[in-house]
Structure 1
């Protein structure tokens, strides 16, 4: 179904622009909650994936999961390593391959990750009623399901 046409395109109110603004606001809220930990929203996403998905233990896997180029990922991993939150370990079987591991400090911080994420997203969605939140969730899933970008439904809630 066509919802827009080029002659009457509401640029500032298009769904694309609104979703981008919501994403920016989400990152601002995450930054607010993460400031005491000296971690940015972008770094938080790497740490979250490291904690929640053992398959994302290489820079290449994280690049794919976060849609980042390898240069940006290298800089991010450098910062996280400098903060003592993760470390790179060369694979014994193939020295060209690097695995990422949370340090003890990173593991300690990861215990707070889900609480920080929940607090930030609760702030973001605070204006919505429970029914509105469920409807927004349903609609976003409907848009994303055919793309294959959604993870398996297991553990989605």
Structure 2
């Protein structure tokens, strides 16, 4: 196991255990994101686009408005409108203005978008299994609980 200090070639010790933990987390997220980006690029998607496809699949036939999608994103997308424009141009989603409330423009998953997100379920699960297979069930539960505690403390402001 290579310590982070060696991996990033840092000569001095970390300022604190908290700093070392935070930097380890940032580095790990960066590596996971890189692997996921490479995987999705092979299928013509970005992580944000894949996240939107998953969100819309979960939303069902009614779809969701732009702001609702943005609230459910794992990582905030700065320009949701342009992102949805590109996905619509690719035939993955469809936006339809409501006939009862013109302010409401739900985004729906197209058949092409559903087929793509469905097709990625098994390969994505295999990728995640490979990333975390070396951890025990208990370690995974501890990781989830620890990350949840950190996130809740930071978002409780």
Q: TM-score range by the shorter chain?
A: 0.7 to 0.9
**Bigger RCO of structures 1 and 2 (CA < 8 A, at least 6 apart):** 1
TM-score with structure 1 setting the length? 0.72
Q: 1:29-78 CA distances to partner (integer Å, 9 max, x unpaired)?
A: 22232223201111111111111234861101112222636x51112111
Structure 1 residues 10, 142: closer, same or farther in 2, change over 3 A?
Answer: closer
2:90 matched to 1:68?
no
Structure 1: which 5+ runs fail to align?
A: 1-6, 150-157
2:61 matched to 1:51?
no
Instruction: Tell me if the contact between 1:85 and 1:104 (Cα under 8 Å) persists in the aligned partners.
Output: yes
CA distance in 1, matches of 2:145, 2:72: 22
SS in structure 1 of the partner of residue 106 of structure 2: strand
Instruction: Tell me if the contact between 1:34 and 1:116 (Cα under 8 Å) persists in the aligned partners.
Output: no
Within 5 Å, which residues of 2 pair with 1:98-137? 98-137=105-144
Instruction: Tell me if the contact between 2:92 and 2:111 (Cα under 8 Å) persists in the aligned partners.
Output: yes
Structure with the greater alpha carbon radius of gyration: 2
Structure 2: which 5+ runs fail to align?
A: 1-13
Number of residues paired by the alignment? Answer: 141
Name which of 62, 86, 97 aligns with 2:93.
Answer: 86
| Aligned-residue RMSD, C-alpha | 2.9
TM-score with structure 2 setting the length? 0.72
